[in-house]
Structure formats: C-alpha cells, structure tokens
Homo-oligomer: A and B are copies of this chain.
Amino acid sequence: MVHETPVRVRYGEVDRMGFVYHGHYVVYFEMGRTELLRSLGATYRELEDAGTLLVVVETSQRFLVPAGYDDHLMIRTELADVRGVRLRFEYEVLRDGQCLATGHTVLASCDKNGRPRRMPARLSELLAPSAGEQESRKAEGAPDVQGAGQGAS
C-alpha cells in the first residue's frame, strides 16, 4: 500500500542556507499519508469529523540531500504496519528519482479526549487488503484484534 504525492517547495519553506527547513518534512509526510488515505476512498477530514483522531505518537526524519526552493518533490508513502489502534507510515522524499530524505510516523486512533479508540470498521476495511493482511501474518498467529481481523482473513 504505497502512494506517491507531488509537492512543490514553497518560498517560505526554504531557510537562509537555501535548503528546505528540516521542520517542513513532517508536513510533507502528512500530505503523503492524507493522499494515500484519499486514494483508498477515505478522507482524514471525514474521519476526524466523525470523532476519530489519528494522533501522532512518534516520528523521525533523516536527511540525506538538501531540497531547494521550487523543487518538485515526490513523497512516497507506505502504510507499513497496522497493529491494534496504531498505524505506521514510512516515507521517502524523492527528486528526479533520488532519495533526499526518509522518515516514519506512528499514529494512534483516539477519541476526542485523546483516549485510545478502536479504528472505525470502515477504515479498517480500507486498510485491510494490504498492510492489515501482512501485519496479521507478521504477528505470527498472535491475533491482533483490531476490528479488521475478519476483513483481512
């Protein structure tokens, strides 16, 4: 389950070194997973408006080659793991096929008060065909009850 999202670097995203300021990569990552979800038929906006928040629990970024102003980047987003209330996304930021940066994000499904909350069935079904399925195999038989368990079998 992989999606590629194009991003044009904005002027204000570049710092005085002439490179994209490192803090903007998490924004690019967010655009990547938002568009991955949209490509599956879900929008994060609807999810949130219906009461489910996907809260960022942890994230990392590794920078290999700097990007510059007006660069046309490709954000390659992979849903790498679904485990209980947690989703793990992994990213590559590419320019003309060259990898400039990598990273990951772990999100947890929560209610409006920030308490863990089972993912909505519809989301689980959308995510099931790929990552969910691999995941239940990776878990080596230990059933990871997540609402999507049936969908993935």
A45 at the interface (CB under 8 A from B): yes
Which of A11, A14, A45, A114 has its CB near the most chain B CB atoms (within 10 A)?
A11
- A114: chain B residues at CB < 8 Å are 66
Given A26-B22, A26-B23: A15 touches B12 (CB 8 Å cut-off): yes
The reply to whether B70 and A44 contact each other, CB–CB distance below 8 Å, is yes
A143 at the interface (CB under 8 A from B): no
The reply to whether A70 and B45 contact each other, CB–CB distance below 8 Å, is yes
A130 at the interface (CB under 8 A from B): no
A-B contact pairs, 19 of them (CB 8 A): A8-B31, A11-B34, A11-B44, A12-B27, A15-B15, A15-B16, A16-B18, A17-B48, A17-B53, A22-B26, A23-B27, A26-B26, A43-B70, A44-B70, A48-B69, A55-B66, A57-B62, A58-B61, A60-B60
